[in-house]
Copies of this chain bind each other. A is one copy, B any other.
């Protein structure tokens, strides 16, 4: 098996190109498929992610939505404003903490879920992958994300094994 030490920097530049670009391209390909699938619903893909969270949890403070999706208020505030303008979401200041704003689906937003419920199946079909493989890939990506987030927030080079990768995933993605 290759180790980091046996590969020349030159080769790394090429491999780097490939892995990071693959991820980049896969995400944009996913976005493209979602874009068409969500066009009828009038949702963008990030808006859809927010609605998935709200459908699952009901009313949530912006902060909590951000924790589920790893997004900050700079992204969520205008996004929620647009969802509110579209009539899918209601926002209001929390009575017990005036700093906090909670969002929840309106009746129209709840109804939207019925229309969105066929979307994931179409996406899964578009991947042409069996569910088992999709799950496997998901697990791999979660490990990767956890390792990268870990590496970025100070922890050493983290060069060793992939151990501990799964640990820091807690609280990130909505776990199953």
Contacts and interface: CB of A to CB of B under 8 A. Distances in A.
Contacts of A152: 29, 32-33, 36, 126
Interface string A23-56: 1111111101110100000000100010011011
Copies in the complex: 2
A129 interface: yes
Contact of A18 (B16, B22, B150, B176): B176
B120 A25 contact: no
Given A26-B141, A26-B144, A29-B149, 18 more contacts: A4-B131, A9-B121, A12-B117, A12-B124, A15-B124, A16-B124, A18-B173, A22-B142, A24-B49, A25-B172, A25-B173, A27-B27, A28-B70, A33-B148, A126-B148, A127-B148, A129-B143, A137-B137
A126 B20 CA distance: 13
Interface string A105-146: 000000000001111111111111111111101101111110
A56 to B, nearest CB: 8
A126 B131 CA distance: 29
| Chain A interface residue bracket vs B | 35 or more
Contacts of A128: 147, 150-151, 158-162, 165
A157 B150 CA distance: 38
Contact of A27 (B23, B161, B162, B173): B23
A155 B48 CA distance: 25
B126 A174 contact: no
6 contacts: A15-B120, A17-B49, A25-B141, A125-B158, A128-B159, A137-B141
